[in-house]
Structure formats: structure tokens, C-alpha cells
Amino acid sequence: MDANTAYLTQNTPENVHTVEHPLSGGKTLEEILSNIEMTIIEEKEEHLIIDLVGIEAPIANALRRIMLSEVPTMAIEDINLWQNTSVIPDEVLAHRIGLIPIDADPRLFKFKHPNEEHSSENCICFKLHAVCRRLEDGSIVGDKVMSGDLQWQPFPNQQERFGHFKPVHDDIIIAKLGPGQEIEAELFCEKGIGATHTKWSPVCTASYRLAPKITLKKEIAGENAINLKNKCPMGVFDVKKGKAVVKNPRNCTSCRECIREDDSMVSLAKVKDHFIFTIETTGALSPRDIFREAIKELRDKAAFWLDKINIYKRTPKS
Amino acid sequence: MESSDNKKFSVAEDETGKGCTFAFTGEGHTIGNALRYLLIKNQDVEFCGYSVPHPAEPVMNIRLQTYKNPPLETLEASLNQLTSVCDLLLSKLDSKNI
Ligand code: SF4
């Protein structure tokens, strides 16, 4: 068995442990650093699939955790609700508004200290005024309050410096109004991190999985090959010239259907140091930027604690 | 960092000088496990483990015992290694041919 491969069998996963200590056969840091590979598999506006080969789980997991909860974004934090005659209670409405993703680069802003004023440096202000009316011909206008109804209220010289801010999507329903009902509010976005509240998380999800390694244990031909192809719901196998081949190993979801009845044909495995990251953004930062910011955040953390240690060393011990 | 003023570093040193428990206030598993992992790779480390004693308390402890060097220096070396791992990843991400 290959130490770098975990196997899926009919009953259990096998060979799943990892060895980190160099004296027990783990790799040294130098070996790891000289063999890291990064490949972008798919990059779209809203998601990124990136392969990280050669690192080990603690680093991969640190990056994943940071993307989820420590890369900052801007989100609505304070609301002055001047009027709310809709059926939605104030606090529920405020919570819904808070979750709207805002299209603003958080790197342009500073964190707001609790007793600091809102300013052009740490805040984006929006106004929301929605009234629903019944017109003379009986039709109703303004019954849906959408995220696109948020009006940006720039602070002095924000417009010259930053251009324009708005919610990422214009078509999120915030509330529904009946004729005569009204919502009027002032909203203040602040910079924050997902650990405080998920509304600040830059990702819909960021996850990794290990790369599947699928091999055929023997030559499979004829009807068996067609059966194997049809068995896999993810289209992993194909038949070429009457013989089964592994066509799309990355599609495998590890459902184990292909080995359920007969495990003599296919070997299902995972490469233990091949991490496939999937990053989906909420829209404020590009997924590549989120990944980059996560790495920077981890580096900043290390630098921060080095600094703290230096201060500790300089303070006299009692 | 958002709440950098609530972050504290403290050390409980053994009498032998070869063992230390470091407490990182304001940190969790993210850097705890990564640091533990890098420390384990160090040949001078006899023992290293980390824990978050209670999920509601923002404290992460690293227990470190070394053979030769002072544990605090070993910890610093690992933090520096973490920085270089990140630098390497950043350069890979920003290189043209990825
Ligand atoms: S485990 Fe499931 S998805 Fe993967 S190859 Fe087998 S049948 Fe297909």
C-alpha cells in the first residue's frame, strides 16, 4: 500500500492515517516546501476550483477556516429605523437587511472601533425608503422592497475616492408591503469578520476535498465495461474500443456504487496530499482575492504573534 | 486584526527550562493546529500539542518540550516558518503560469 493513498473498500476506509513526524516517516518541512504545486482548475466570477498538491492538512485547514471566518468584508451593522409599518418586526427586518452582500472592497476601509464615529474611512451609508401605494386604477405599486432600493449616501469625498457602492444583487426581496405601509431606514455598513457574524463571511462556502484516485484492477471489456459505465452516477467511467477506462476521476463523489456488488474491478482511493479547494464568493471579493487574502491573513497572524513574543521578551519578569 | 487589543500572549515555563505552555488569548484551532504541525516537524522538539480548553473561551494553549533549544525560540522559529510557507503560497498564486 502506498502511504500517500487512502483506500475506500466495501466496508471501511483503509490506510487513512497521516504521519507528520519526520522520524516516523513524515516529510520534513523542506521536502514539503520544495514540492508544493498550485493549479487553478476552474475560475469563474463567482467560484474558483484550485488544486493544492503537496501540503498537509493543518495548513490547508487553516486556510479554509480563515476564508470562512477571518477574511473581512463590509456588511450592514447599524440601522436607524425611522419607520416600519410592514408586517415584519423591526428586529427581523434589521437582520434580513444585515445579510445583504455589499459590493465594496473591504481593503479600502478600516475597522471601526466601538466608540468611533461613522466616517468615510470606516463606513458605507445607505438609505432605504419604500412606500407601497394603491393607484386610482386599483393597481398596487411598490409592494416589493428589493435590495436594489438601497440608495448609497456617500460620505464627503467618498464618491471621488471609491466610485460607486451598491448591493451585489439588486433582486433580493427584503420585505413585502401592503398599500399604505412604509419602511424608512438609514443603514451603516462596517468592516468585520465572519467569526463575529456570518454576514461578514466573504464566501458562500469554502471547502476542500481530497483528490480521488480511481484505477481499474484488471482489464474490463464487453458487457462488464458497459455495466460499469452505467453503474457510476457521476460518469467517471467510459468505454473505449470495448474496454472500460477511467475518464473523469475528479467527478467521483465516493458513493462506492461501483464496488458495492463486486470490488474486484475498481480500486477507489484518495491522494492524501492533494487538496481540491472550492471557493464560492458572495460577490464582494473575487474568489482568487479571497484565497490570497486568506494566505495573507495567516501570514499576518504569524507576524502578529512574533511581535507579541518580542514584547513579552522585552518586559521584565517579576 | 479586528480585536487585536484583546489578544494576549503568556508563558508558563517549567523549572527545567525545557518545557513551556504558551497561552494565546484570542486564537483558536486555525493557528493552533498549523503551529503544532510545524513544531512537530522540528527535530529538536520532544513533545508538542495544542488545545482549546473551552470553546466559549478564546484561549488556545500550546504545550512544547524541547531537547536543546529554549522552547520560546523554537516557537519563534516555527512562526517564522509559517510566514515563509505563506510567502511561498502567495508567490505560487501570483505567478503567471498557474
Ligand atoms: S464511487 Fe461512485 S462516483 Fe465514484 S466512481 Fe464509483 S460509482 Fe462513480
Res A309 pLDDT > 70: yes
Q: Which residue has the cell 488545545?
A: B51
Q: Are A135 and A144 in contact (CB under 8 A)?
A: no
Using 50, 70 and 90 to split pLDDT, how confident is the model at A317? confident
The verdict on residue B4 lying in a domain is no
Q: Quick: pLDDT tens for A120-161.
A: 999 999 999 999 999 999 999 999 999 999 999 999 888 888
The verdict on residue B1 lying in a domain is no
Q: What is the DSSP letter of A135?
A: -
Res B3 pLDDT > 80: no
Average pLDDT over residues B80-86: 96
Ligand 1: which residue has its CA nearest to atom 7?
Answer: A232
Q: Residue B6 and residue A208: Cα distance in Å, rounded?
A: 31
Nearest Cα residue in chain B from A288? B93
Helix (H, G, I), strand (E, B) or coil at B45: strand
pLDDT score for B2: 46
Contact B92 A312 (CB under 8 A): no
pLDDT score for B96: 67
For residue B13, what is the domain's CATH number? Answer: 3.30.1360.10
pLDDT score for A25: 83
Average pLDDT over residues A185-201: 95
Q: Are A269 and A213 in contact (CB under 8 A)?
A: yes
Average pLDDT over residues A86-115: 94
Q: Quick: pLDDT tens for A235-269.
A: 999 999 999 999 999 999 999 999 999 999 999 99
Q: Is the CB of A268 under 6 A from ligand 1?
A: yes
Q: Residue B55 and residue A285: Cα distance in Å, rounded?
A: 30
Using a CB-CB cut-off of 8 Å, the residues of chain B touching A309 are: 9, 72, 75-76, 79
The verdict on residue B3 lying in a domain is no
Q: What is the DSSP letter of A71?
A: S
Q: Residue A168 and residue A251: Cα distance in Å, rounded?
A: 31
The verdict on residue B36 lying in a domain is yes
pLDDT score for A218: 93
Q: Quick: pLDDT tens for A11-68.
A: 999 999 988 888 888 889 999 999 999 999 999 999 999 999 999 999 999 999 999 9
Contact B2 A306 (CB under 8 A): no
Q: Does A197 touch chain B (CB under 8 A)?
A: no
Average pLDDT, chain A: 94
Ligand 1: which residue has its CA nearest to atom 4?
Answer: A252
Q: Residue B79 and residue B42: Cα distance in Å, rounded?
A: 12
Using a CB-CB cut-off of 8 Å, the residues of chain A touching B5 are: none
Q: Residue A10 and residue A13: Cα distance in Å, rounded?
A: 8
Nearest Cα residue in chain A from B76? A306
Using 50, 70 and 90 to split pLDDT, how confident is the model at B88? very high
The verdict on residue B75 lying in a domain is yes
Average pLDDT over residues A165-176: 95
Q: Quick: pLDDT tens for A197-243.
A: 999 999 999 999 999 999 999 999 999 999 999 999 999 999 999 99
A215, A230, A236, A268: residue to mutate for ligand 1 pocket, most atoms within 8 A of CB: A236
Range of B53's domain?
9-95
Helix (H, G, I), strand (E, B) or coil at A253: coil
User: To probe the interface with A, which of B5, B30, B94 has the most A CB atoms within 10 Å?
Assistant: B30
Using 50, 70 and 90 to split pLDDT, how confident is the model at B97? low
* Ramachandran area for residue A54 (φ above 0: left; ψ -120 to 50: alpha; else beta): left
Res B4 pLDDT > 60: no
pLDDT score for B54: 95
Number of other residues whose CB lies within 10 A of the CB of residue A85: 13
The verdict on residue B67 lying in a domain is yes
The CA angle A253-A254-A257, to the nearest 5 degrees, is 110
User: What is the tally of structural domains in chain B?
Assistant: 1
Nearest Cα residue in chain A from B95? A38
Query: pTM of this prediction?
Result: 0.92
Contact A299 B87 (CB under 8 A): yes
Chain A: closest CA distance from residue B76 (Å):
6
Q: Is the CB of A252 under 6 A from ligand 1?
A: yes
Q: Quick: pLDDT tens for A102-126.
A: 999 999 999 999 889 999 999 999 9
Average pLDDT over residues A303-317: 92
pLDDT score for B69: 93
pLDDT score for B1: 43
Residue A299: which of B40, B72, B83 has the nearest Cβ? B83
pLDDT score for B68: 93
Q: What is the DSSP letter of B44?
A: T
Q: Quick: pLDDT tens for A41-56.
A: 999 999 999 999 999 9
pLDDT score for B6: 85
Q: Which residue has the cell 416600519?
A: A84
DSSP B59-83: EEEEEEEESSS-HHHHHHHHHHHHH
The verdict on residue B59 lying in a domain is yes
Q: Quick: pLDDT tens for B27-76.
A: 999 999 999 999 999 999 999 999 999 999 999 999 999 999 999 999 99
